[in-house]
Structure 1
């Protein structure tokens, strides 16, 4: 299908070229013009007539033609002179010219015609079929030329647009490269800062632990060795000192663990989560044999991860479940596996105190507690430690629950 360039507000597209091109007939005899027009009418093109060479030149000032049929013998300006002037103009220099003459095909006239740029030389009387077929060739050539020109214009425009896009992409790429360098620099700075913070936390916690142990030890020694020399108020004060130092030691231990899990090397392996869960549950029950709670743990739930770190996860989650179900006579704690959005998901569920869902976003923040110390002991570090371990495994953790209706902690392990 032939095409032309259309200029619109939208990107340029190819559509049909004009179905009609112009053919110029030049002859000083009106009957010859009518005769030629009748022969060419079936081509369906626009026929333009000129009675002289001068009139033909005037048409060429404003219009382009697929082909010019030019009579040789005309008064004032013959066909050869007209053709020479046509060829002098840049716009019509390549327009095909077919000479029509009644002078015959003498070599002199034929050579002169070709010399001034004719593409063919026909003698009168003209055979209609021959004239029509020759003109049809140049009509089709003009239409194909228009198509090529249209494609060339479109290609040129698209090339300009492409160069602009490439230039924009290069600028964007340079900006992205610069931003990436800046981002990488910031990431390296943050990594260094985090390492310094972890190191600082570990050092401070480690250095605090020794004096706290001594405080707790000496207060206990005072009570045991000099209790008969201290009145009741003094004993109460010493017990408070011991209790506070023990709580502080626990906090320091939790901080050390929190820092340690971010520094430990990872050693991924296939682990039996159920075996770990049963071991942790046994330890918990051994420490408090008077408590009654039903642990439900399935068989052979496998996972891939660092066994030591995953044990810390279950220790924290199962100890929390044990702690928050202490007021339930029918306490139940369930460890299991499920699917969440097509992802393998582990969970620890209990029927204990639960929590306010509106405060769920605080659960994994260090030192955040949703229950008072008088209700349930704790430092607020355990769940933050769990989240850090889960993230190191490429997973995520979240919780669901409500007040007095228990809680369920879900977690994934990335590819594990």
Structure 2
């Protein structure tokens, strides 16, 4: 997912602009949506590596977007940072973290803190996806070797549970010969 974007979702144009300005120094590809429906469409099209999502929007709320994303395999692991301007709310916090959001950030947002969180979450998600891809490739490679019609080479290592016969040293053999001769 080399060209995955960070999708910023808010129903206020000035907030979208402020968030884009705060994240621009990171150099990541940024996308925007002004409502939950538009956000879901973009997420389902793919290429979203992180979602910054306003909680309270007309129509489909940020929590609704997250609920839907968590039910769809292709989107359930995309990190989400929820944004709210309504101050601390214990019910919102419980619901958000219950859905597996990465963080819940209060507006106004500290640009330095936001950049740090976004860089960490986005890069971690990309590394996770790269490791999953590598695992798939290795499994395919191993499966391909297991399906080969050629017999295993004779120099193949024994199974780890196989018993190895006890090796006797030459001194032990000499001692046994002497005992047998006497």
Q: Please give the TM-score of this superposition, normalised by the length of structure 2.
A: 0.76
Partner of 2:42: 59
Do structure 1's residue 69 and structure 2's residue 62 form an aligned pair?
no
The residue aligned with 1:96 is 79
Task: Please identify runs of 4+ aligned residues in structure 1 that moved more than 6 A.
Answer: none
Shift of 1:88: 2.0
How far did residue 93 of structure 1 move? 1.3
1:139 positional shift: 1.4
**Who is 2:67 aligned against?**
84
- Residue in 2 that maps onto 1:35: 18
Q: Would the aligned equivalents of 2:37 and 2:60 in 1 still touch at CA under 8 Å?
A: yes
Task: Quote the residue 1:132 is aligned against.
Answer: 115
Q: Structure 2 CA distance, aligned partners of 1:38 and 1:106?
A: 27
Q: Equivalent residue of 1:146, what SS? A: helix
The Cα shift of 1:85 comes to 1.7
Query: Which structure has the higher relative contact order (CA within 8 Å, separation 6+)?
Result: 2
Partner of 2:90: 107
**CA positional deviation for 1:127:** 0.1
CA distance in 2, matches of 1:130, 1:76: 29
Partners of 2:58 and 2:129 in 1: CA distance: 35
Give the Å deviation of 1:147. Answer: 2.1
Q: How far is the alpha carbon of 1:153 from its aligned partner?
A: 2.4
| CA deviation after TM superposition for structure 1 residue 75, in Å | 0.8
Please give the TM-score of this superposition, normalised by the length of structure 1.
0.35
Q: Which residue of 2 aligns with 1:146?
A: 129
The answer as to 2:154 corresponding to 1:169 is no
Displacement, 1:155?
Answer: 0.7
Task: State the Cα deviation string for residues 170-210 of structure 1 (Å, max 9, x = none).
Answer: 5x98xxxxxxxxxxxxxxxxxxxxxxxxxxxxxxxxxxxxx
| Per-residue deviation, 1:89 | 1.6
Q: Distance in 1 between matches of 2:9 and 2:127?
A: 24
| Structure with greater proportional helix content | 1
Gap regions ≥5 residues in structure 2: 155-182
Alignment length (residue pairs): 154
CA-based RMSD: 2.0
Give the superposition deviation at 1:150: 2.8
Deviation at 1:64, TM superposition (A): 3.8
Deviation at 1:112, TM superposition (A): 2.1
Secondary structure, counterpart of 1:169 in structure 2: coil
Q: Which sections of structure 1, spanning at least 5 residues, go unmatched?
A: 1-16, 174-416
Say if 1:21 and 1:139, in contact at 8 Å, map to a contact too: no
Q: Is the 8 A contact 2:44 2:75 kept in 1?
A: no
Match of 1:203 in 2: none
